[in-house]
Chains A and B, each alone.
Chain A
Amino acid sequence: MYKVMKGNEVTAYAAMLSSVDVIPAYPITPSTLFPEKISELIANGEMNATFIPTESEHSAISVAIGASASGSRVMTATASQGLAYMHEMLAIASGMRLPIVMAIGNRAISAPLNIWNDQQDSIDERNSGWIQLYAENNQEILDLTIAAFKISENEKVHLPVMICMDAFLLTHTMEAINIPDKKEVTDFIGKNTTNRIILDTEKPATLGSFASPEYYTEFRHQVTVAMEAANSVIFDIFSDFKKRFNRNYDVVEPYRLDDAELIFVSMGAVSGTIKDAVDVLREQGKKAGLLRLVAFRPFPSQQIKKYLSMDVKIAVIDRNVTPGYDGSVLYAELRSILYDSDFKPEIIDFIAGLGGRDMTIDDFIKIYTLAMEMNADSNHIVWEQLKPLGEDVS
């Protein structure tokens, strides 16, 4: 069945199809439509779940932690300052190894206050122990969310997952979505509580305990091991997904990489525009390609090495800033991974599309031209479309 839906609504539908039991949520632009749609689905009798409107994002994620610890399947959604407000609880969710799925409507971080799209909010949480998958379109939001429950609840993983979707570009954009039958989804995800210790009065246990210096390191290490295991688990789950639903995913997506001279690297919705720019460039005989990261945590190091250890130029599209470092996060991590590869590509960091500034096909064609002219040894950071300081920009 096809339905035309906004990204946030798709997220709510994914929760319904995945038989989520508990949805604690606090509204924040651009994720507000998620709790609204959930309330509607429950009120209409289409969804059988407990919706808990909390008084803050901190409480929403805290309730999610408690509900997951009791064995329920849980989902919530937030963005930007809301995600930042959840910060201390995020590491508790992953440290307690709780399956939770959270939709992030990627939005800029204040100040200045801005409700539009970039990826600073979720990238800032890259050390939180949450798996992060970035969707390019609304169909992916549905598919990745359904897969996320299965990944999160896999006993080798048992980590929470963020499904990251760009503010407005996805959250509020209508797209026709192929919706699978609920039964197919139920069969695909399977049971929640497999080999997981939960809060159960019949079998008492302490969850969220204390660990002294003799033990703490080992538990932090376990999260890292689980994250590594997630790499192959995600691969297997995506393969299973393809067999059942006939849509194909991987932790990275290569696009027209054959004999490419310049490869864009990006995450999220902007990748669709880059694909169009690559097509235009290819028509002009310019050898451009794209490597899109679907997974940012776990970082797809092996796949990046496989596709990018060659004599090419790379234009990283970084939709985040890390002040005080020589380039932004995606650039830094990508470059670090490629440090020990045989062919070191030339990498240029384009800090672009912050706070919802539009990125068009023409912009990427310009980036291609600029990157081809540049020498990364002398300059490797470009602030895209930066207006000069002190000039009248009105």
Chain B
Amino acid sequence: MIFNKGATITSTGNSIANETGSWRSMKPVIDYSKCIRCDICWTYCPDIAIDKVDGTSYSAPYSQLKKKKVPKINYTFCKGCGICVNECVSKAIDMIREEI
């Protein structure tokens, strides 16, 4: 750690070192049979903890949607804030208690 003047950080992209997943007490889980692949959760996640992955093997409300990418939560970084749950237009995300 170098104490740059004014706490300035020049090695960008370092948030990857801060595994915010450890903060989580509640966990968002997507029910893909309700997910319409609108990407709203992906847009709103403040920690960029939602990836978009190939959707062919995921269930969907109707078959055409299988061609689209699906949101997949990266639990190493998902801090459990619940914003995605609140924003999801299809009520496809549930917040469940973390099991230890």
Task: Compute how far the CA of A95 lies from the CA of B4 in the bound complex, rounded to whole angstroms.
Answer: 12
Which among B5-13, B24-32, B34-42 touches the partner chain?
Answer: B5-13
Most buried by B among A98, A206, A207, A209: A206
Residue-by-residue, is A257-300 near B (CB-CB < 8 Å gives 1, otherwise 0)?
00000000000000000000000000000000000000000000
B1, B5, B12: the one within 8 Å of A158 (CB):
B5
A residues near B5, Cβ cutoff 8 Å? 97, 158, 196-197, 222
Q: CB distance A95 to B7 under 8 Å?
A: yes
Residue of A nearest to B3 (CB): A218
Tell me if A383 counts as interface (CB < 8 A to partner B). no
For chain A, the count of residues having a C-beta within 8 Å of the partner chain is: 20
Task: Compute how far the CA of A28 lies from the CA of B17 in the bound complex, rounded to whole angstroms.
Answer: 46
Task: Compute how far the CA of A208 lies from the CA of B5 in the bound complex, rounded to whole angstroms.
Answer: 11
Q: For residues 223 through 269 of chain A, which have their beta carbon under 8 Å from a beta carbon of chain B? A: none
Q: How far is the CB of B34 from chain A (nearest CB, A)?
A: 36
Q: How far is the CB of A217 from chain B (nearest CB, A)?
A: 10
Tell me if A386 counts as interface (CB < 8 A to partner B). no
Q: CB distance A211 to B4 under 8 Å?
A: no
Looking at chain B's contact residues, the main secondary structure is loop
Task: Compute how far the CA of A97 lies from the CA of B4 in the bound complex, rounded to whole angstroms.
Answer: 10
Task: Compute how far the CA of A211 lies from the CA of B5 in the bound complex, rounded to whole angstroms.
Answer: 12
Tell me if A176 counts as interface (CB < 8 A to partner B). no
Q: For residues 341 through 374 of chain A, which have their beta carbon under 8 Å from a beta carbon of chain B? A: none
Q: CB distance A205 to B7 under 8 Å?
A: no
Q: How far is the CB of B15 from chain A (nearest CB, A)?
A: 9
Knowing A204-B12, A206-B9, the reply to whether A215 touches B3 (Cβ < 8 A) is: yes
For chain B, the count of residues having a C-beta within 8 Å of the partner chain is: 10
Residue-by-residue, is A298-309 near B (CB-CB < 8 Å gives 1, otherwise 0)?
000000000000
Knowing A204-B12, A206-B12, A215-B1, the reply to whether A158 touches B7 (Cβ < 8 A) is: no
Q: CB distance B6 to A211 under 8 Å?
A: no
Tell me if A219 counts as interface (CB < 8 A to partner B). yes
A196, A203, A204, A215: the one within 8 Å of B7 (CB):
A215
Q: CB distance B10 to A205 under 8 Å?
A: yes
Tell me if A96 counts as interface (CB < 8 A to partner B). yes
Q: CB distance B4 to A197 under 8 Å?
A: yes
A205, A210, A215: the one within 8 Å of B8 (CB):
A205
Q: How far is the CB of A242 from chain B (nearest CB, A)?
A: 29
Q: How far is the CB of B89 from chain A (nearest CB, A)?
A: 33
Q: How far is the CB of A104 from chain B (nearest CB, A)?
A: 23
Task: Compute how far the CA of A348 lies from the CA of B64 in the bound complex, rounded to whole angstroms.
Answer: 87
A96, A203, A210, A215: the one within 8 Å of B6 (CB):
A96
Q: How far is the CB of A153 from chain B (nearest CB, A)?
A: 13
19 A–B contact pairs at CB < 8 A?
Answer: A95-B7, A98-B6, A158-B5, A197-B4, A197-B10, A203-B10, A205-B8, A205-B10, A207-B6, A207-B8, A208-B7, A209-B7, A209-B8, A210-B7, A215-B3, A215-B7, A218-B3, A219-B7, A222-B5
Query: Nearest 8 CB-CB pairs, A to B?
Result: A97-B6, A206-B9, A96-B6, A204-B12, A197-B8, A205-B10, A97-B5, A209-B7
